[in-house]
């Protein structure tokens, strides 16, 4: 029995050392790009892309939280999702597992037809200024890319950067999917 406890203690100690060493050597810089091709002219894409609250997951949730007092994503969001063809609550919040995202806001910094810059206020990437790049690929084909860069500080900065790469990637994929659905929807 004593030998088993000794081995368990040793394995726990080794695991803790591995976590500490990895935390020290993992890159603290977070960089991520997510792109989508949209079958619409760049001018139409730019018109919708400027309004982050219409298609970006964080912007949509922020708007709903501020306008309707939503504090719990799963319980209160319900059918209050803006009218985007094919978007439901589950796809809206995939990658946003907790209410921390409700404390985030997006502020438009600059908007040009080929590049939109916004600032994230609050949450784990407070102060990050992602770029939305809009590039015309053909007459009615546009590539939209969300480019994010952020440097984490602190002891577990490398682990935070790794987690952000996954979490932000999912949020950006869903956001770009929303933008694509809006831009490719038939005119009413």
Q: What would the mean pLDDT of 130-157 be, rounded to a whole number?
A: 90
H/E/C letters for each residue in the chain? CHHHHHHHHHHHHHHHHHHHHHHHHCCCEEEEEEEEEECCCHHHHHHHHCCHHHHCHHHHHHHHHHHHCCCCHHHHCCCCCCCCCCCCHHHHHCCCCCHHHHHCEEEEEEEECCEEEEEEECCCCCCCCCEEEEEEEECCEEEEEEEEEEECCCCCHHHHHHHHHHHHHHHHHHHHHHHHHHHHCCCC
pLDDT reading at 15 higher than 80: yes
Would the pTM count as exceeding 0.75? no
* Predicted pLDDT of residue 101: 52
* Predicted pLDDT of residue 105: 83
Interval 35-46: pLDDT, tens: 999 999 999 999
pLDDT reading at 152 higher than 50: yes
Of 75 and 40, more confident:
40
pLDDT reading at 96 higher than 90: no
Domains in the chain, ordered, with CATH?
28-184 (3.30.530.20)
């Amino acid at each position: 029995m004593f030998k088993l406890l000794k081995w368990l203690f040793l394995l726990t100690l080794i695991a803790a050392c591995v976590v500490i060493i990895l935390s020290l050597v993992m890159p603290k810089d977070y960089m991520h790009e997510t792109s989508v091709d949209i079958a619409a002219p760049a001018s139409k894409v730019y018109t919708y892309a400027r309004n982050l609250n219409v298609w970006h997951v964080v912007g949509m949730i922020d708007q709903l939280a501020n306008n309707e007092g939503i504090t719990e994503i799963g319980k209160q969001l319900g059918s209050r999702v803006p009218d985007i063809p094919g978007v439901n609550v589950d796809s809206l919040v995939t990658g946003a597992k907790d209410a921390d995202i409700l404390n985030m806001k997006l502020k438009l910094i600059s908007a040009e037809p080929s590049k939109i810059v916004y600032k994230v206020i609050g949450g784990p990437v407070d102060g990050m200024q992602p770029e939305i790049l809009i590039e015309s690929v053909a007459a009615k084909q546009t590539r939209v890319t969300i480019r994010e860069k952020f440097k984490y500080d602190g002891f577990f900065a490398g682990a935070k950067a790794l987690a952000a790469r996954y979490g932000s990637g999912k949020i950006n994929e869903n956001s770009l999917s929303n933008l694509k659905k809006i831009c490719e929807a038939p005119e009413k």
